[in-house]
Amino acid sequence: MPAAALTLSDDGFLLHGEPFRILSGALHYFRTHPDQWADRLRKARLLGLNTVETYVPWNLHQPAPGTLDLDGLLDLPRFLELAHAEGLRVLLRPGPYICAEWEGGGLPSWLTAQPGLRPRSRDPRFTAAVDAYLDLLLPPLAPHMAARGGPVIAVQVENEYGAYGDDTAYLAHLADALRTRGVEELLFTCDQANTSDKAKLTAGSLPGVLSTGTFGGRVEESLEVLRAHQESGPLMCAEFWIGWFDHWGEPHHVRSADDAAAALDTLLSAGASVNIYMFHGGTNFGFTAGANHDHAYTPPSPPTTTTRCSPNAATRAPSTPRSAMSSPATPPSPTSPSRALAQVAPDRRHADRLGQRPGLRRIPVPRRAVHRAAHHGAAGPGVRLRPLRHGAARARRPRPALHGRGGRPGAGLRQRRPGGRPGARAP
């Protein structure tokens, strides 16, 4: 059996026996269009990173028991090949629970819908489903492990489990499931490392498995908590939060770049390894954002997370029961807008270009607008919008005169006198 490429020293990592510091950035392949994977990976390398990190969403890769989807947006082997070609290492986080502000934390609905099932525990039905999933997922990934010349140098067990439970036997089952299926790479766990609740770090850890922390501030305190928990070995922040996710309808969370840079400098000055969360956010296609997260997964990150992919590009039929939904289809390849529709006029002497494209005028009009057209003179669906021409002034609807019952303007209207009570009649 090949030996792990990444090993531990008293205070750091060794890659093939040489000192190595992990400088990683989170890049979720399933939130990024496949045509953009190579571009984002190159940007990661140009930023100075030597590693990228990604979760693996169980509910997308296995939409039904006994199946495995590795096509299009879910072609994880291809993503790993591109990372390797770019000279990047990979931290793989297969869950089974991934959190990630993702629908169900990646747990498939066909499993969680079972009455009485206890997810993330030793429940035999849950562990049997996990084992069956790993039986299908891991063989295609085996050639991409670093021990066999691939880019994957470490694999995570569960995800921040200490914030959920303390079933050490469950974690041990997961670690054993990875080992017995040929994963020889370094295993690690991650949990919140803060002084207010050290029990989370203990509950989510496993003997013989590297413990890492997740935090975005109070770096020195968090590293002290991590070192007190684990007396030797490398210090690593598996999620260094440079921002925060958004809930639907709420303002976008923004962290000062200076503040994030100062905290990162403190972390690196301590000799710790790091995974920047996120390096590139991306898009929650379809209904994958869960109940209340925004479709754009865009914590403030080093490169722009703006994408031309429509958030609805992979949306499935709303009438389809959520438990029966298949994985979102790969959205069409991003394209630049047509120059004919994006042309900027040099001056005001131009025609209405939309007037030349009647199809773009076919916009459904609400009933309220139809009512206004019929009774108040507003433009309705039957009104033809003429293109603007040079020298033509915009047509303005004349303001109707306000006539009261007596025929003169203002007669009988209810007005407010200066200093008077509402509704007093004008003299």
Q: Which residues are catalytic?
A: 160, 239
3-state secondary structure of 342: helix
3-state secondary structure of 292: coil
Q: Rounded to an integer, what distance in angstroms lies between the CA atom of residue 298 and that of residue 304?
A: 9
3-state secondary structure of 403: strand
3-state secondary structure of 337: coil
Nearest to 174 by CA among 237, 98, 262, 263: 98
- Phi, psi torsion values for 20, nearest 5 degrees: -145, 130
Straight-line distance from the first to the last Cα atom of the chain, in angstroms, rounded to the nearest whole number = 100
3-state secondary structure of 113: coil
Q: Is 203 within 8 Å of 171 (Cβ atoms)?
A: no
Q: What is the DSSP letter of 142?
A: G
In the β-sheet with 13-15, what is the strand arrangement from edge to edge?
6-8, 13-15, 18-20
Which stretches of 9-55 are assigned E, i.e. beta strand? Answer: 13-15, 18-20, 23-27, 51-55
Peptide bond preceding 337: is omega within 30 degrees of 0, i.e. cis? no
Tokens of 22: 């992990």
3-state secondary structure of 288: coil
Tokens of 199: 């029990």
Tokens of 348: 């005001």
Tokens of 43: 């940007």
H or E, element range at 124? helix 124-141
Q: Rounded to an integer, what distance in angstroms lies between the CA atom of residue 40 and that of residue 49?
A: 12
